[in-house]
């Protein structure tokens, strides 16, 4: 079994320290620095790649819906007001508390017996369920949420997800705190990244910190490729010479590495 203290000790060994720690709370300078850096750095590394060891799916909790939707059949006002999703979105959902990075919203499916969203799965021998089209567009923002979980002026800021998908299902990178779930590449990336931060805090050696940051970024780039390809990957793109003839096929797939920019990796020291 892997524990957080093991990750910390591997990071200390990576930068050549002669001391190890028995606990993150033992009070030594090494443990204080590891305890200070480990949790935020774990979340930062989780956000930088489509780690399959942290990928999760859940139903989103609805906050409010636009007028005219099944959830809000009331007629709309002439002007937008707080309490309904901002245009052009129809639904506003609560941002999951364990979400590090939202990847995509899964379109709802039907069982083949009806066109609506099913309450239960298909019966034995029935047509298989299928997803209706590409991942759904969404936007992450904030809203002011008051008493009763409804948006209102003067409420507390809360992260929200805006989309046009009814009963939205979100695929996202989850804040995974159990080291036993982390795969080897993630552990190596976190060890190298933690070593880079500890090198500055414990030794002040910028060259060593730079080297460990480069190692962490290499593992992150490998994970973007490896985890993205660990499963079914479809990338159907209509060639230009076909599109110029007026023929265009809708291309879609659920690999987070296609048409999804994970951005830069860990910042280097200069």
Domain boundaries, the chain: 1-13+183-231, 55-174
Read off the pTM.
0.80
DSSP letter for each residue of the chain:
---HHHHHHHHHHHTT-S---S-TTS--HHHHHHHHHHHHHHHHHHTTS--GGGEEEEEPPEEEE-TTBTTB-SPPPSS--BTBPPTT-SEEEEPPTTEEEEEEEEPPEE-SS-SS--SSPPPTTSPPPEE-SSPBPEEEEEEEE-GGG-B-TT-EEEEEEEES-TT-EEEEEE----TTTS-HHHHHHHHHHHHHHHIIIII--HHHHHHHHHHHHHHHHHHHHHHHHSS--------HHHHTTT--PPP----TTSS------SPPP-
Q: What is the pLDDT of residue 153?
A: 92
Q: What is the DSSP string of 190-224?
A: HHHHHHHHHIIIII--HHHHHHHHHHHHHHHHHHH
> What digits encode the pLDDT tens for the residues 210-254?
998 998 888 888 887 777 667 655 555 666 776 677 655 544 444
Lowest-confidence pick of 101-115, 169-183, 200-214 = 101-115
Mean pLDDT within 85-104: 94
Q: What per-residue confidence (pLDDT) applies to 256?
A: 43
Query: What is the per-residue pLDDT for 108?
Result: 74
């Amino acid at each position: 079994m892997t524990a957080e203290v093991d990750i910390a000790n591997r990071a200390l060994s990576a930068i050549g320290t002669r001391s190890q720690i028995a606990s993150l709370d033992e009070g030594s300078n090494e443990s204080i620095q590891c305890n200070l850096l480990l949790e935020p750095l774990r979340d930062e590394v989780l956000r930088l790649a489509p780690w399959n060891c942290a990928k999760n799916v859940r139903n989103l909790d609805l906050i409010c819906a636009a007028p005219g939707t099944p959830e809000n059949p009331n007629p709309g006002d002439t002007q937008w007001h707080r309490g309904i999703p901002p245009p052009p979105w129809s639904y506003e959902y609560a941002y999951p508390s364990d979400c590090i990075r939202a990847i995509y919203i899964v379109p709802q499916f039907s069982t083949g017996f009806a066109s609506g969203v099913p309450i239960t799965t298909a019966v034995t021998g029935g047509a298989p369920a299928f997803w209706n089209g590409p991942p759904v567009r969404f936007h992450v923002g904030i809203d002011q949420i008051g008493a009763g979980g409804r948006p209102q002026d003067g409420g507390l800021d809360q992260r929200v997800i805006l989309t046009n998908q009814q009963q939205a299902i979100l695929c996202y990178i989850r804040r995974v705190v159990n080291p036993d779930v982390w795969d080897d590449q993630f552990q190596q990336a976190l060890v190298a990244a933690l070593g880079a931060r500890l090198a500055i805090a414990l030794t002040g050696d910028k060259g060593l910190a730079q080297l460990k940051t480069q190692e962490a970024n290499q593992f992150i780039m490998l994970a973007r490729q490896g985890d993205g390809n660990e499963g079914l990957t479809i990338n159907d793109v209509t060639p230009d010479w076909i599109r110029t003839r007026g023929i265009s096929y809708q291309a879609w797939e659920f690999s987070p590495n296609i048409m999804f920019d994970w951005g830069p990796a860990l910042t280097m020291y200069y």
